[in-house]
Structures are given as structure tokens and as C-alpha cells.
Amino acid sequence: MRMEWKHRHVLDLKDWTREEILLLLDQAKNMDDLMDRPIKKVPALRGKLVVNLFFEASTRTRVSFELAEKMLSADVVNWSASGSSVGKGETLRDTAWTLEAMGADAVVIRHGSVGSAHYLAKKLHRASVFNGGDGAYSHPTQALLDAYTAWKHFKNLEGRKISIIGDILHSRVARSDIRVFRELGCEIVLSGPETLMPLDVKALGVSYEPDPRKAVSGSDIVYLLRIQRERQEEGLFPSLDEYYLRFGADLDLVMHAKQEALVMHPGPINRRVEIDSSVADGAQSRILQQVRSGVAVRMALLYLCLGGVMA
Amino acid sequence: MKLREKARLMSETDIERALRRMAHEIVESNKGLKEVVLVGIQRRGVFLANRIREVLRQIEQEKVPTGELDITLYRDDLTLLHDHPVVHSTSMPLDITGKRIILVDDVIYTGRTIRAALDALMDLGRPSVVQLAVLVDRGHRELPVAPNFVGKNVPTSREEVVEVRVTEIDGINEVVICEREA
Amino acid sequence: MILFKNGKIFDGQAFHEGLQDVLVTEGRVDRIGPGIEADGAKRIDLGGKTLSPGFIDLHCHMRDPGFEWREDIRTAAAAAARGGFTTAVSMPNTDPAIDNDALIRYVIEKGKAAGFARVLPAGSVSKGREGKELAEMGKMAEAGCVLFTDDGAPIGSPRLFRTALLYSRDLGVRIMEHPEESSLSKGGHVNEGRCSSLSGLKGMPSSSEEIGVFKAISLCRETGVPVHVTHLSTGRSVHLVREAKKEGVPVTCDVTPHHLCLSEECVIDSGFDSRYKVNPPLRSKRDLEALWEALSDGTVDAIATDHAPWHLDEKDLPFPEAPFGIPSLECAFAAVYTEWLGKGQPFGMERLMALFTKGPASILPKGWSDLGMLAPGSLADLVVIDTDIEDVVSVSSWRSKARISAWEGKSLKGWPVMVFVEGKPVYSQQGEKTK
């Protein structure tokens, strides 16, 4: 079966249709099976150069991309730029042109500035850009691996309810997950302190419920976001302890969801802040499956976007 | 690219008879079915492998393990394609190391698909023998690959296309030859 | 002597009947009427095109002295002329800040030497624009400054604002306030609302501007000294000004072309292109509509560009890293005219034209108040506008040093084709085409 895959880049999920997401999930399934083989390698991207350009510290996402790239036999270069991109050293524009000159076929970028992946894509004529996270806007591969994890379990996501608890305001994971799950037909409720919510939740197509127990009621998936210490230091909520008391996912909170509900978290988890160990390590948790899904989903994206673009 | 059907090469009955003969040849060549595993190449090869397995069950009263192999990720022409072939599933019922593999495909042409299939098989294990069964051999090999069991030899020109149709996908069992329309 | 024949004459407030002629002698408008003849005068047949007083821009960042790689007085004046502006007020957020009479004279001289649009300097309210002590407002007024402003930032404290108002009452030079409550807007990049919610970029709430406007109106009311609030971007802001005017408070205001034509949707739709980054930010569609209503009912006195040029390397960055500012001198009128057409001409053209002419002129000190008028005796600052030409904006061909603008690639109608300052030609589209 042949089909047109029209995305050269994966910057955000704004224009992805339901059909495209489902195709991606289907392809991820076949990539997933590769991980059970004795030889976890196929030659599909042999000779392609992929550069991992990580301006923000990240082990999990970078390693996950790296595994996916290597399993497809691509050549991998890791370019970590520690320190901020504001005026220190080379500008992103110059970095882009350098990468192009080096012959990169794909660049995976994680950067603190919203729109940095879009910016890079505008500057590159040939290479594909994969957004590994840009500020608080988008983390499309995370959302797709979350969708894959849920889809593998439920098979059909239409009409399901998802509650997302935590710091939505600063979360690219939340924004991307909202996009992907809405496109797949889910209903989404947000919860957490109002100081950590965006002003216009309607614009996102979701609703807000300040009481997490109410928010979680009837949910098929309880999705927890990481709480960052910096937000507490900014004065947006008084203490991590109080956060855990009001919004932390312990067995009591999760009990309010459906009995077969899944618990998900993008990782790394803060035990006793947004989630209790009994839940993180419990039967409903899909946190480790999400990690495995990440490699499969990223392989599928690399294959679809990089194969056969040049005639 | 539009195709115009020129002629029917094999009817449903012709296909059945060919597969029956090939199944007998497989038993003869392998002196029985010990360690034999059928591996159908996605997509139509899978259905043909299932039919061969059914015939083998009838004639030897043995259930031959059957697997599916997707070779998309091993193709040598991925960078040249404009459209992206979708990847289908690969699943083996057992470890293929030490087994006698019968690769099954619908048509052999340049031989590149079989080369990719061999690479894929080697990444899955170390078979003791690999043999190839195809329903149609249409000539024009570009690599030194030869089938062991052939349903029908059909001389063709490069402008022609041989289509094997199976009920599971196309609603009918037949083999037709088509011509590319200008 | 120039004789303009067959033009649609706009006098600053209204259009003259039919097509008329205008005779210009020694830099001033001599006569207006049908069928004028004058021997020895250069004849220019307008063929029905609009002849208007030259536009006046109250708010233009010329970056000179100190930041000349972004723009200088010469290029800004040339850009202004190309946009139909015969007068442009330069902002004092330069390096050093224009907080003394020597620099006021510097700006005036450099503008005169350039020979394009007239450049009138604004001086800062506080020394060094630091928001702590009063600058030498008296000396600056004497030297020819036409507005006081700490723009780029609001005046440092309500106390300083009030003191400045009382001190400057008799100088006849208005204070222009950039309304913003910094503790609310600090760190923000876009409108707090749809844009910030969808993009994850920190938002600058509407209340920040509203509080700034409220503060200005409050002090204006109490002291009775006129105040001008600049680049209003929200429905709440214009509402406050409307109510204050009803009460008789001497407050005036302007809005920018970009706030009239572009909304916060541009930020996400463009893939976070920094050309749309500006302070105050592009707001919601509702705010945009509210601004047009305020143009319609006379709440807004003037359209001012807030022309903010940056060097390409400084502006071509990922959105949160880029500085704020949209340059627009050369297409400001065309942008607003096109939007006005697109909205189905919500009010008469004379109202639109007044916002570029008499409206801004009325904010300037009395000595300049006959700018923005086309009447016998007024200075021959004129612009000929062809309302039929449609052209695509190409920033690379601008006289301004700016090379990125939100207007790039936009197809606009209504362009100035000839511009005169005191009867002297400073721009001609024809001349440019033949180069």
C-alpha cells in the first residue's frame, strides 16, 4: 500500500489529521516489534546523517531518539549546546547553516525558545526537523508516544476521557497531548492550581476543574505532569508539600477514575510531589511502556519523514 | 500510472493446480517436512504461503509453521521513491535458526525483493537452508537470484506488469498481465 | 511655484467639492479653487488623485544617536517621506537619551540636513530616561522639542508623572505616556489570552495597559494638564479614554497601523515569526474591532506608526529572543487604507485622512498646529495619494534600514506617489521607478 506522507518536518501537531495520526500509530506498531528481535537493526536509513541538537539538558528524549536513529542504521551525531542560546556563542541561524553544510539529513532539536524548531525549519532547505521540545509550546513526539501507548491498550480512543493534572501553563507536553488526543476524539479535563493554568482553556478545546477528584472522575487516562521547583520559587503555589496534598496522585485520587484507567507521566517523575510511589509503580501505571513507545514512535517518524523525499 | 488489463494468465483453478504441484515439489526436495518453515513475503506472498500450508496439511497431514515477513525497511530503493511504502508486520512463529525456510512470493522480477528478504531473514536468525517458491517468474533478473519452485514462467516486456490477485485483498483469485498506459 | 491641477483636495478635515486646483508659492499654499492658472508655475496634473496635507507621525524610533546600525535620522526621514509623512516626531530612547537641549538641536539640524521629511524631536521626561529625576524640560521646549516621553517604558513613578505634568503645564509641550504596568507585563512576549494559551509564550495581560491608561487619565484629570497616551491596543484602553473625554478630561490618544490590521493569530499562524513581535503585543480580534470603533467615534485622535526598526541580525531570532518592534513608515497609510477598504469603509474617508493629518497636528505645540492643514497660508506640506494602485510590500526596497517587517509580502492599496515639504519635493514614485 502506497500513500502520500506530506510532512517533511515534525514541528507541532497543529495540522495533523486523524488519518495521519492513525497511520503513524500503525507504523509505530511495526517498529515496536523490531525491538524484540535478536538483531535490533534495519538498514532503512543507512547513509543518512541525523544530528541531535539539544540546547536543553535531556537524557531520556535524546537517548530515545538516538536509539531510534541507530536502529534504522542512520549515522548519528550528538551536538549538545549547554548554556543559553541568548547571545552566547553561535546563533541558531549560523548553526543551521553549518548543519546544512555538513550534509545533515535530519536535525532533532530541543531548545528553550518557543518557535525554535519552526525557526530552524525555515532556515534549512533540505534537512527534516524534528521538534524535541521548544519552550512551553510543543513536544510532538511525546504526544504521539503517549497516544501510541494509550492506543495499544485501548485500541479505540474515540470518546474516551482524559484528565491532565499539573502545571499546564508551562507545559509543552500538555499542549501537544491535548492536540493529539482531541484529534483522536477524546474529551479532556485539566486540573491543578489555577495559577498554573493558561488564561484561555477554551482556546485549547478543553475544560478546567479545580478539584482533581472531580476532574479524574470517569477518566480512562489520568495524565500527570511534572512539577518544577522553579514554579514554586516563582511564587505560583506555596509549597511542594501543599501541592502534593491537594493535587498529588495517590491511590485515593486514582480510585476516583475508572477502574481500568491508565496512569501516565512523561517522566522523569517526582515521587511525592505529583505522584505517589504506589501509583507510579502500580498496575495501572504505563510510565515504563511510554518509554518503550518512545523509541518505536520516533522510528516511525524518522522512517516516514526521511525515506524517499529526494527523487 | 494507469494500467490496462491485456490478458488473464491463470484462472483460480490454474492457481490451485500450480500451488498443489509446488507443494509436492517442496516435500520431494526437502525429503519430507522436517524443520520446514514457510515464510510469506508481505503482502500477497503471505496468503499464498497460507494456501501452500493448507495443501501440505492435506497431503502430508503435517502443520507447517508459517511466518510473515515485511521487507520494506530492507529495500535498496527507499531514497528513490516519491511515495512512502507503508511498513507491514513481520512475525515468525518460532526461532528460524537451523530451519529450512521456504520464502513464498507472488511474482519474481528483478530479484531485488528476494535480496531484501534474505537480508531481513539473516537479521532474524541463521536458517540452515533458504529456498524460494514463486507463483509467477516473469524474467528480467537484475541480481543472481533463482527460484526453486515456480508456478508458471511468463515471458514479459518491461512495459508490462504481472498482477497476482487474491480473494483476501482483491476479491478474486487470478493472475493477469497488464500494460502501462501512456 | 507649483500648480496642482484636478485633484481631490482634502484640507485636513473635509474634502473640497469635486476636483480643484491648488497653487503653491514660496513654500506655502496660496490658493485653492477650480480652474486656477499661473504663469511660470510648474504644472502637475493630478488626474483626480487625492491631494492632502502631508501626514504627521507622532511616534517614530529613529535610533539616532547611538544605534545608527538600525536606523538614523536621515534614513528615517527618507522612509517617512516615502510613506507620505512630511513630519515625523523622533523618539528619545537613544544612546544617550535625548534629555537635553543640545541633543534636541542635534536632531533638528540633522533632520534639516537630510532634506526629506521634517524631523521634530521628542525629549525624555526624566534624566537619562531613568524614571527618577525630571529632565530639563524647559530648555528642551525652548530648543524646539514637541513632545515629552519616556517611551519604550512608562514614566518611572506616578509621583514623577504628576510632578512632570505640573512642571510642564506652561511649556505648551504635551507629555506622551507609554501605558504599561511593568510588573504585570514583565517577561511577556505576546497577548495574554488565546495566543499565550495556545503557544505557551508568556502573555502580557490587557490589564497592564489598562492600568497605565487609568493612571494617566487620573493624573490628567487631577492636574488639568493635557496627556497623550500612545499605541493603545485594547478595547479596555479606548473605553477608558472615551469615558474620560466625555467628562472633559484633556486626554488624547493614538493607535498604530499594526494594531489596526493584525491580531494575535498572526503569531501562531506564521510559525512564531518574530516580525510579529511588538510591545504592546498584537491583541485579540475583539480588541482590533474595538479600536476601529474608537476610530469611528472620534475617541482616537491620531494614527502613529511606532516605527521600530532593527538590524536583521538582531530581529531574525526565535520569537522569545527577538526584540519588540514593527517598522512601517513606508506602508503605514496603505496598510490602514487597505484595511479600511476591507472593512467596507466603516466611516467616511475624511475621518481616516484626519487621523494622519489634523489629528496628530493637534497634539503638537501651538507653533506647529497649522500643520496637517491644507488652506491658504498653511505650509505646503503635501502628499498626493493614488488610491487605485495596488502594490506588494518589499522591505528590501525600503529607504529605512529595517529589513524585516510584519508587512513584508502584503498586497496593499492606496500609495503616496508625490510628497512635498514646504513646496519642495521629497519623494516621487515616478522618480524611484526611473532610477
Q: Would you please indicate which residues of C are annotated as catalytic (active-site) residues? A: 306
Domains A18-138+291-305 and A140-287 share a fold: yes
Of the listed ranges A198-212, B78-92, C101-115, C259-273, the least confidently predicted one is B78-92
Phi, psi of A165 (to 5 degrees): -120, 130
pLDDT confidence of residue C81: 97
Query: Within an 8 Å CB–CB cutoff, is residue A36 touching chain B?
Result: no
pTM given for the model: 0.90
Is a pLDDT exceeding 90 seen at residue B30?
yes
Is a pLDDT exceeding 70 seen at residue C231?
yes
For chain A, domain boundaries: 18-138+291-305, 140-287
ipTM value, please give it.
Answer: 0.89
pLDDT confidence of residue A309: 33
C112-145 burial by CB neighbour count: b if 16+ within 10 A, else e? eebebbbbbbbbbbbeebebeebbebeebbebbb
Average pLDDT over residues C119-140: 97
pLDDT confidence of residue C433: 64
pLDDT confidence of residue C435: 42
Integer CA distances (angstroms), C10 to B101, B177, C84, C254, C363, in order: 92, 79, 14, 21, 20
Does an H or E element contain A129, and which?
Answer: strand A128-134
Instruction: Give C306's contacts (C-beta < 8 A, 6+ positions apart).
Output: C59, C60, C61, C230, C231, C256, C258, C278, C325, C326
Rounded distance between C-alpha atoms, residue C223 and residue C212, angstroms: 17
C–B touching, 3+ CB–CB pairs within 8 Å:
no
Average pLDDT over residues C242-254: 98
Place of cell 541463521: B126
**Looking at the DSSP assignment, which residues form a beta bridge with residue C421?**
C424
Phi, psi of C66 (to 5 degrees): 110, -30
Contact state of C272 with A119 under an 8 Å Cβ cutoff? yes
Distance of alpha carbon A20 from the chain centroid: 17
**Interface of chain A against chain C, CB under 8 Å?**
11, 14, 85-86, 91-93, 111-116, 118-119, 121-122, 135-138, 169-172, 175, 198-201, 203-204
Contact state of A113 with C319 under an 8 Å Cβ cutoff? yes
Return the closest-CA partner of residue A92 out of A64, A59, A115. A115
Q: Which three cell numbers stand for residue B50?
A: 497460507
pLDDT confidence of residue B13: 97
Q: Which three cell numbers stand for residue B112?
A: 531485488
Average pLDDT over residues B98-126: 95
Which ranges constitute the DSSP H helices of C186-234?
194-199, 206-223
Instruction: Give A12's contacts (C-beta < 8 A, 6+ positions apart).
Output: A117, A118, A131, A137, A138, A140, A176, A179
What percent of chain C clears pLDDT 90, i.e. is strictly above it?
97
* Cβ proximity of B51 and B44 under 8 Å: no
Distance from the Cα of A134 to chain C's closest Cα (Å) equals 10
Average pLDDT over residues B20-33: 97
Tell me the residue length of chain B.
182
Strand order in the sheet with A75-80: A75-80, A49-54, A106-111, A128-134
Contact state of A3 with B83 under an 8 Å Cβ cutoff? yes
Q: Which three cell numbers stand for residue C412?
A: 496593499
Return the closest-CA partner of residue C357 out of C59, C144, C118, C52. C52
Among residues 38-97 of chain A, which lie with CB inside 8 Å of chain B? 38-39, 41-44, 72
Among residues 132-171 of chain B, which lie with CB inside 8 Å of chain A? none
Tell me which fold the domain B13-78+90-154 belongs to.
Rossmann fold (3.40.50)
Average pLDDT over residues B95-120: 96
Three-class DSSP labels, A183-234: HCCCEEEEECCHHHCCCCHHHHCCEECCCHHHHHCCCCEEEECCCCHHHHHC
Rounded distance between C-alpha atoms, residue C192 and residue C202, angstroms: 7
pLDDT confidence of residue A267: 87
pLDDT confidence of residue A88: 59
pLDDT digits (tens, 9 = 90+) for C145-186: 999 999 999 999 999 999 999 999 999 999 999 999 999 999
For the packed helices A92-102 and A116-123, what is the interaxial angle rounded to 10 degrees?
50
Return the closest-CA partner of residue C59 out of C335, C428, C370, C356. C356
Is a pLDDT exceeding 90 seen at residue C49?
yes
Phi, psi of C277 (to 5 degrees): -90, 125
For chain B, domain boundaries: 13-78+90-154
Q: Which three cell numbers stand for residue B124?
A: 532474524
* Domain A18-138+291-305 annotated CATH 3.10.105.10: no
For the packed helices A287-306 and A60-71, what is the interaxial angle rounded to 10 degrees?
50
pLDDT confidence of residue A231: 78
Contact state of A44 with B125 under an 8 Å Cβ cutoff? no
pLDDT confidence of residue B1: 66
Place of cell 537630510: C114
Rounded distance between C-alpha atoms, residue B147 and residue B53, angstroms: 18
Among residues 94-113 of chain B, which lie with CB inside 8 Å of chain A? none
Tally DSSP H helices, then E strands, for chain B: 4, 9
What are the percentages of helix, strand and coil residues in chain B, rounded to 5?
A: 30, 30, 35
Residue type, C81: A
Return the closest-CA partner of residue A265 out of A289, A250, A287. A287
Is a pLDDT exceeding 90 seen at residue C386?
yes
Average pLDDT over residues B46-59: 97
pLDDT confidence of residue B85: 83
* Cβ proximity of A113 and A134 under 8 Å: yes
What percent of chain B clears pLDDT 90, i.e. is strictly above it?
86
Give all chains having 3 or more CB-to-CB distances under 8 Å with chain A. B, C
Per-residue pLDDT of chain A (311 residues; tens, 9 = 90+): 456 788 999 999 999 999 999 999 999 999 999 888 888 999 999 999 999 999 988 888 999 999 999 999 999 999 876 644 434 578 899 999 999 999 999 999 999 999 999 999 999 999 999 999 999 999 999 999 999 999 999 999 999 999 999 999 999 999 999 999 999 999 999 999 999 999 999 999 999 999 999 999 999 999 999 998 777 788 888 888 999 999 999 999 999 999 999 999 998 898 988 999 999 999 999 999 999 999 999 999 999 998 643 22
Q: Which three cell numbers stand for residue C85?
A: 509623512
Distance of alpha carbon C325 from the chain centroid: 13
Domains and CATH numbers, chain C: 2-51+379-389+411-434 (2.30.40.10), 54-368 (3.20.20.140)
Look at domain A140-287 and name its CATH class. Answer: alpha beta
Cβ-nearest to A38 among B89, B91, B125: B125
Average pLDDT over residues B114-121: 95
Is a pLDDT exceeding 90 seen at residue C389?
yes
Q: Which three cell numbers stand for residue B109?
A: 522480477
Contact state of A30 with B90 under an 8 Å Cβ cutoff? yes
Return the closest-CA partner of residue C242 out of C268, C213, C270. C213
Q: Which of C319, C403, C408 to mutate to test the interface with A (most CBs of A within 10 A)?
A: C319
Does an H or E element contain C361, and which?
Answer: helix C358-361
Which chain A residues contact residue B125 at CB under 8 A? 38
3-state secondary structure of B149: strand
Place of cell 510543543: A138
pLDDT confidence of residue A84: 42
CA atoms within 13 A on the CB side of C217: 21
Does an H or E element contain B160, and which?
Answer: strand B160-165
